[in-house]
Protein backbone atom coordinates (compact mmCIF):
# COMPACT_ATOMS: atom_id res chain seq x y z
CA UNK A 1 0.00 0.00 0.00
CA UNK A 2 1.24 3.47 -0.83
CA UNK A 3 1.88 5.82 2.03
CA UNK A 4 -0.71 8.32 0.89
CA UNK A 5 -3.40 5.65 0.55
CA UNK A 6 -2.59 4.31 3.97
CA UNK A 7 -2.95 7.69 5.58
CA UNK A 8 -6.29 8.17 3.83
CA UNK A 9 -7.49 4.74 4.96
CA UNK A 10 -6.55 5.52 8.54
CA UNK A 11 -8.29 8.87 8.36
CA UNK A 12 -11.47 7.30 7.01
CA UNK A 13 -11.30 4.59 9.68
CA UNK A 14 -10.88 7.18 12.42
CA UNK A 15 -13.80 9.23 11.15
CA UNK A 16 -16.03 6.17 10.80
CA UNK A 17 -15.11 5.07 14.32
CA UNK A 18 -15.88 8.48 15.80
CA UNK A 19 -19.16 8.73 13.91
CA UNK A 20 -20.13 5.27 15.08
CA UNK A 21 -19.29 6.31 18.63
CA UNK A 22 -21.43 9.42 18.45
CA UNK A 23 -24.37 7.56 16.84
CA UNK A 24 -24.12 4.81 19.44
CA UNK A 25 -23.96 7.41 22.19
CA UNK A 26 -26.96 9.30 20.87
CA UNK A 27 -29.14 6.23 20.49
CA UNK A 28 -28.13 4.98 23.93
CA UNK A 29 -28.75 8.38 25.47
CA UNK A 30 -32.26 8.41 24.11
CA UNK A 31 -32.98 5.21 26.04
CA UNK A 32 -30.77 5.65 29.10
CA UNK A 33 -30.70 9.30 30.01
CA UNK A 34 -33.01 9.83 32.90
CA UNK A 35 -35.09 12.95 33.08
CA UNK A 36 -35.36 15.16 36.05
CA UNK A 37 -38.72 16.11 37.57
CA UNK A 38 -39.62 18.60 40.23
CA UNK A 39 -43.07 18.21 41.81
CA UNK A 40 -44.35 21.15 39.76
CA UNK A 41 -43.32 19.50 36.50
CA UNK A 42 -45.76 16.67 37.05
CA UNK A 43 -48.90 18.79 37.05
CA UNK A 44 -51.26 17.91 34.22
CA UNK A 45 -49.06 15.32 32.54
CA UNK A 46 -49.02 11.53 32.73
CA UNK A 47 -46.55 10.05 35.23
CA UNK A 48 -43.50 8.41 33.65
CA UNK A 49 -44.38 5.12 35.37
CA UNK A 50 -41.63 2.49 35.42
CA UNK A 51 -38.98 4.63 33.74
CA UNK A 52 -35.75 5.42 35.57
CA UNK A 53 -35.94 9.10 36.41
CA UNK A 54 -34.66 11.55 38.95
CA UNK A 55 -36.77 13.78 41.09
CA UNK A 56 -35.69 16.69 43.21
CA UNK A 57 -37.01 19.34 45.54
CA UNK A 58 -37.14 20.11 49.23
CA UNK A 59 -37.97 17.54 51.90
CA UNK A 60 -41.22 18.74 53.46
CA UNK A 61 -41.05 19.58 57.16
CA UNK A 62 -42.28 16.78 59.37
CA UNK A 63 -42.74 14.37 56.48
CA UNK A 64 -39.93 11.87 57.21
CA UNK A 65 -41.40 8.62 58.60
CA UNK A 66 -39.51 5.48 59.59
CA UNK A 67 -41.14 2.19 58.71
CA UNK A 68 -41.04 -0.67 61.24
CA UNK A 69 -38.20 -2.55 59.47
CA UNK A 70 -35.88 0.25 60.63
CA UNK A 71 -34.22 0.76 57.26
CA UNK A 72 -37.04 2.14 55.12
CA UNK A 73 -38.21 5.72 55.20
CA UNK A 74 -40.93 7.67 53.46
CA UNK A 75 -41.00 11.40 52.95
CA UNK A 76 -42.59 14.07 50.80
CA UNK A 77 -40.82 16.31 48.34
CA UNK A 78 -42.20 19.75 47.60
CA UNK A 79 -41.29 22.81 45.60
CA UNK A 80 -42.89 26.23 45.22
CA UNK A 81 -45.97 24.72 43.56
CA UNK A 82 -48.82 23.03 45.43
CA UNK A 83 -47.71 19.68 43.98
CA UNK A 84 -45.83 17.11 46.01
CA UNK A 85 -44.16 13.76 45.39
CA UNK A 86 -44.32 10.96 47.94
CA UNK A 87 -41.06 9.00 48.14
CA UNK A 88 -40.13 5.66 49.65
CA UNK A 89 -36.49 4.72 50.14
CA UNK A 90 -34.84 1.63 51.56
CA UNK A 91 -31.29 2.28 52.63
CA UNK A 92 -29.13 4.64 54.62
CA UNK A 93 -29.86 8.16 53.44
CA UNK A 94 -26.81 10.36 52.94
CA UNK A 95 -25.53 12.43 55.84
CA UNK A 96 -26.88 15.68 54.42
CA UNK A 97 -30.41 14.34 54.07
CA UNK A 98 -32.76 16.17 56.42
CA UNK A 99 -36.09 17.97 56.52
CA UNK A 100 -36.29 21.37 54.87
CA UNK A 101 -33.21 20.73 52.77
CA UNK A 102 -32.66 19.85 49.14
CA UNK A 103 -32.81 16.29 47.90
CA UNK A 104 -32.34 14.50 44.60
CA UNK A 105 -33.54 10.92 44.31
CA UNK A 106 -33.12 8.34 41.59
CA UNK A 107 -35.75 5.67 41.03
CA UNK A 108 -39.11 4.88 39.45
CA UNK A 109 -42.72 5.98 39.83
CA UNK A 110 -45.33 3.38 40.78
CA UNK A 111 -48.74 3.56 39.05
CA UNK A 112 -50.24 5.04 42.26
CA UNK A 113 -47.84 8.00 42.15
CA UNK A 114 -45.43 6.77 44.84
CA UNK A 115 -41.81 7.28 43.90
CA UNK A 116 -39.60 4.34 44.89
CA UNK A 117 -36.05 5.62 45.18
CA UNK A 118 -33.09 3.31 44.57
CA UNK A 119 -30.69 5.97 45.63
CA UNK A 120 -30.76 9.32 47.33
CA UNK A 121 -27.98 11.34 45.88
CA UNK A 122 -25.51 12.69 48.34
CA UNK A 123 -24.70 16.10 47.11
CA UNK A 124 -21.47 16.54 48.99
CA UNK A 125 -21.79 20.25 49.34
CA UNK A 126 -23.68 21.36 52.41
CA UNK A 127 -24.84 24.46 50.55
CA UNK A 128 -26.36 22.38 47.78
CA UNK A 129 -29.81 23.24 46.50
CA UNK A 130 -31.55 21.35 43.74
CA UNK A 131 -30.89 23.37 40.58
CA UNK A 132 -34.55 23.57 39.70
CA UNK A 133 -35.32 25.66 42.78
CA UNK A 134 -32.60 28.16 41.97
CA UNK A 135 -33.79 28.37 38.39
CA UNK A 136 -37.37 28.94 39.51
CA UNK A 137 -36.32 31.70 41.86
CA UNK A 138 -34.41 33.30 39.07
CA UNK A 139 -37.40 33.18 36.74
CA UNK A 140 -39.52 34.71 39.42
CA UNK A 141 -37.16 37.63 39.86
CA UNK A 142 -36.85 38.34 36.17
CA UNK A 143 -40.61 38.08 35.88
CA UNK A 144 -41.04 40.85 38.39
CA UNK A 145 -38.61 43.09 36.60
CA UNK A 146 -40.50 42.65 33.40
Partner 1 sequence: MIAEAGLGALWLAASLSLLQLFFGFAALKPPAEELGRSVRPIAIAQAVTVVIAFFCLIDLFLRTDLSVRLVAENSHSLKPWLYKFAGAWGNHEGSMLLWVTVLAVAGAAVALFERRLNERTLIATLAAQATIGLGFYIFLLFASNPFDRLAPAPLEGNGLNPLLQDPGLAFHPPTLYFGYVGISIAFSFAVGALLTRDVGPAFARAMRPWVLAAWIFLTTGITAGSYWAYYELGWGGWWFWDPVENASLMPWLAATALLHSVTVLATRDGLRAWTVMLAVVAFSMSMIGTFLVRSGILTSVHAFAVDPRRGFFILILLALYIGGALTLYGLRVGTVKEGSTFEPVSREGALVLNNLLLSVVLGLVLVGTLYPLLTEAMGSKVSVGPPYFNSVAGPIALLLVAAMAAGPLLRWRRDRLKALGRRMAVPIALAVLALVALVLFAPGMRILPLLGLGLALGVGAGSLAPLWKRNLRRTPLFVYGMVIAHLGIAVSLAGMACESAFTVERLVAARPGDTVSVGPYHVRFAGVAPIAGPNWTAIEATLVASRGGGAPFTLTPQSRMFSAPPTETSETAIATRLDGQLYTVIGKPAEDGRWQLRLWWKPFVTLIWLGGAMIAFGGFLALIGRVLRSRRAARRGEEAYA
Q: Does 70 bind partner 1 (CB under 8 A)?
A: yes
If you ran DSSP here, which 8-state letter would residue 101 be given? Answer: S
Assess 43 for contact with partner 1 (CB under 8 A): no
Selected from 10, 12, 49, 141, the binder of partner 1 by CB under 8 A is 10
- Per CB under 8 A, 124 contacts partner 1: yes
DSSP state of 51: S
List the one residue from 51, 61, 66, 140 that touches partner 1 (CB under 8 A). Answer: 66
Chain-centroid distance of CA 26 in Å reads 19
Q: Long-range CB contacts (< 8 A, 24+ apart) of 40-47?
A: 40/79, 40/80, 40/81, 40/83, 40/136, 42/83, 42/85, 43/81, 43/83, 47/109, 47/111, 47/113
User: Near partner 1 by CB under 8 A, which window of 1-9, 78-86, 108-116, 136-144?
Assistant: 1-9
Q: Please choose, out of 26-34, 79-87, 109-117, 138-146, the segment that lies near partner 1 by the rule CB under 8 A.
A: 26-34
Q: Does 1 sit near partner 1 (CB under 8 A)?
A: yes
User: Is 117 in contact with 109 (CB distance < 8 Å)?
Assistant: no
Q: Rounded distance, CA 45 to CA 56, Å?
A: 17
Q: Per rule CB under 8 A, is residue 126 in the interface with partner 1?
A: yes
Is residue 61 a contact point for partner 1 (CB under 8 A)? no
Q: What is the DSSP letter of 38?
A: -
Contact residues: partner 1, CB under 8 A: 1-4, 6-7, 10, 13-14, 17-18, 20-22, 24-26, 28-29, 32-36, 52, 54, 66, 69-71, 90-93, 95-96, 106, 122-126, 128, 131-132
Amino acid sequence: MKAKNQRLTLLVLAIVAMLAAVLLAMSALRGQASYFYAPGDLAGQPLPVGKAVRIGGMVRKGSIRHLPDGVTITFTVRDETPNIIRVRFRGIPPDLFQEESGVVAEGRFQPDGLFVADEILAKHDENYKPPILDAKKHEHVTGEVR
